[in-house]
Amino acid sequence: MAKKKTTDGAKPKPENSNVMGLRAEVLEQPITQTLELNYMPYAMSVIVSRAIPEIDGLKPSHRKLLYTMYQMKLLGGARTKSANVVGQTMKLNPHGDAAIYDTMVRLSRGYGALLHPLVDSKGNFGKVYSRDMAWAASRYTEVRLDPICAELFRDIDQDTVDFVDNYDGKLKEPTLLPTTFPNVLVCANQGIAVGMASNLCGFNLGEVCDTTIAFLKNPDHDIMTTLKAPDLPTGGELLYDEAALSEIYRTGRGAFKVRAKWRYSKTDNLIEIYEIPYSTTTEAIIDKVAELIKGGKVREIADIRDETDLSGLKITIDLKRGTDPDKLMQKLFRLTPLMDSQSCNFNILIAGMPRVMGVREILDEWVAWRMESVRRRVYYAMTRKKEKLHLLKGLRRILLDIDRAIHIIRETEEDDQVIPNLMIGFGIDQVQAEYVADIRLRNINKEYILKRTQELETLSQEIADLEDTVNSSQRIRAIISGELEEVKKKYALPRRTNILYDIQEETASFESEETPDYPVTVFFSREGYLKKITPQSLRMASDQKYKEGDGPYLQWETSNREELLVFTDKYQCYKTRLSDFDDTKASALGDYLPTKLAMDPEERALWACIPGDYSGSLLFFFDNGKAARVELSAYQTQTKRKKLTGAYSDKAPLVSILLVKEDFEAAVISTEGRCLIFHTASLNPKTTRTTQGVNIMTLKPKYRVERALPLSQTAIVNTTRYRSRSLPVAGALLREEDRGEEQMTLL
């Protein structure tokens, strides 16, 4: 709870004081009370009444819009202006016209976000695969309900679902729509609530109907045999992963990969992409490809352009001469959104409570809900027939003496006594008497009455059949199965997303092919700049340029395909590839590694190496006299670039790092001027990166290790003087002739 403070030392004025003629009052409220009274109701409203779909596959905004259109007779009727529908929907949905129209757009056939659109649209409704293509205003477009909506509203007027008051209590609206098929699995839906989200992918309607019918017959049915894989409105090719799909079907969470469809025109030497993953857009793809071309990572493309028109989506890629289209597309699949992962989170409201469910659980809940809807419909029809039967039984009694009925009516002096007199005269109740009294004069004949009473037997049989249906779960399941068969026959469409079986993601095999292999010389400066120079450029100018105060530190002659490990002063190691760096010239400063590798703030690159096949080990020398030997394989990862924390021990400052491919003699020099020469084979390699190592040099309190380097890189002449058979030792003082030039250190 915040309190007011003053900066001039004066006492704070009362909060209700009159300042500048205005009276201000500040109410203090504990944060816990604010959360409970203000935030929690908002959060629950977003979860229950806005963002999460229910078992009919619709959010409240969808349901209100569709029901309004149904009430406007737009199912099977002529189209009307979208603005008209938006205005009428406001009676049920208390939101602005823009929000309601956006909802309508995403349900429309023109936008293409659904496998089976619910709104039949005319005009510009944009496209789901375009980020920048804006839809026209509501006054320019026209809509009506798509024919499939008949399955959403079937028997809605026969007490199949509950109705509640709208927000102002003037109208009624359904809590759910009585869908005759599991629309929740067919209609793709996304929503972000407070603290949770929902992401439902669409499935093929025919497969969903077959799966539901099989599930009705056998609850233990193997769902994956009939529900093969998700089906997306934008098509593409789904890379079949049985384990991943099984996880999604079982838990309701997971992801699967979809890639674009393309064709190659040999005559024009170009690639046409005509279907893309549902989760991306044409603009995002083109932007990423352009970025790769600009960065020099894709050199096979001459031009890329968006040729989408009224005939549909099309991205055209012009190829350079000699380009292999298959290899290029494999590269683009990995580097661009042309192949993307589609996430799944089957979070659905069940009885007002959000639940993440697998496909079997969803079908179980939908079947239970649909059975109740069908039972209510049958019970409604049975009740109506019973009421009619009751009236006809009263009419049959009149048949016994029509003249007497006429006489009773004629002899009754007051109108309100007609019904009681008929009730007394024939022994019928008030409802039957009113029905008899309302018969027109021309129908008071034996023929009419005989026809009506002949229905008694038929009605009795129908009522008995309906009663049996209401009490029989098996018969209700049969009704649902029959309706699903009809839905499949009327509305099922072929799959849009093809399934690719036994597809292996070619990563390493194509990596070496797509990365150019040529010799390079790499320079690593003391300040952390890296330059990659080709032999041709190096021959033209070999004098390296460095930033003021910087200078040469490490140098390698290697290949463009090699990897690079960079160690920093924050005990971290960054793995990258030399191919990620642009070829440069000796006159350039190169890439600043902390920026290039997105290092942490104030993190500095200390040392780097070319690991090759990750054989060998690294020697870490610390200023407390310890040395640690770590196997190089401990830094091998499967990703293209990865930051490894805890790359070496943080117990003491690091002095030097040496790469050991084959064992050699190393020299360790302290600030006291002492030197120790030992063979690296005397240190056993460890697999733990953060090992503290072993003590190799004993130091006096005020001294520390200054540097360590291979003996071959020193100016030491009297090597025997400094060698030691056992470790640790203090080392011998360096003679003048052994000092040589001052060596470079990490510090």
**Number of DSSP helices (H) and strands (E) in the chain, helices first:** 22, 35
Query: pTM value?
Result: 0.69
Give the tens place of pLDDT for each residue, 607-646.
999 998 888 999 999 999 999 999 998 888 755 557 888 8
Spatial CA neighbour of 664 closest among 694, 640, 629, 693: 629
Q: What is the pLDDT of residue 744?
A: 46
**Mean pLDDT within 488-492:** 96
Phi and psi angles of residue 645, each rounded to the nearest 5 degrees, phi first: -85, 155
β-pair type (705-710, 665-670): antiparallel
CA dihedral 401, 406, 411, 416 (to 10 degrees): 110
Name the residue with higher pLDDT: 45 or 20.
45
Q: Is 380 a catalytic residue?
A: no
Give the integer Cα–Cα distance in Å for 17 and 13.
7
**Beta-bridge partners for 120:** 144
**pLDDT per residue over 153-171, tens digit each?**
999 999 999 999 999 999 9
Alpha-carbon gap, residue 627 to 631, rounded angstroms: 13
* Rounded average pLDDT over 50-64: 94
* Residue-level pLDDT at 253: 93
Do the strands 665-670 and 674-679 form a parallel or antiparallel pair, or are they unpaired? antiparallel
Tell me the CA distances in angstroms from 25 to 16, 32, 479, one per residue in order: 5, 21, 66
d(CA 37, CA 56): 31
Distances in Å between the Cα of 500 and the Cα atoms of 247, 261, 264 are: 18, 12, 19
Q: State residue 391's pLDDT score.
A: 87
Question: What is the crossing angle of helices 205-217 and 359-399, to 10°?
Answer: 70
pLDDT at 251: 94
User: Percent helix, strand, coil in the chain (nearest 5)?
Assistant: 35, 25, 40
Share the mean pLDDT of the chain: 88
Average pLDDT on 686-707 reads 91
352: Cβ contacts below 8 Å, ≥ 6 apart: 48
The token pair at 402 is 């029509």
- The CA distance from 116 to 107, in Å, is 9
Domains of the chain: 52-179 (3.90.199.10), 261-337 (3.30.1360.40), 371-491 (1.10.268.10), 514-739 (2.120.10.90)
- Burial (Cβ within 10 Å: 0-12, 13-18, ≥19) of residue 694: middle
Of 39, 42, 140, 167, the catalytic one is 140
In Å, the largest CA–CA distance within the chain is: 147
Q: Give CA–CA dist 713/743, Å, rounded.
A: 9
User: How do residues 136-156 score in pLDDT, each as one tens digit?
Assistant: 999 999 999 999 999 999 999
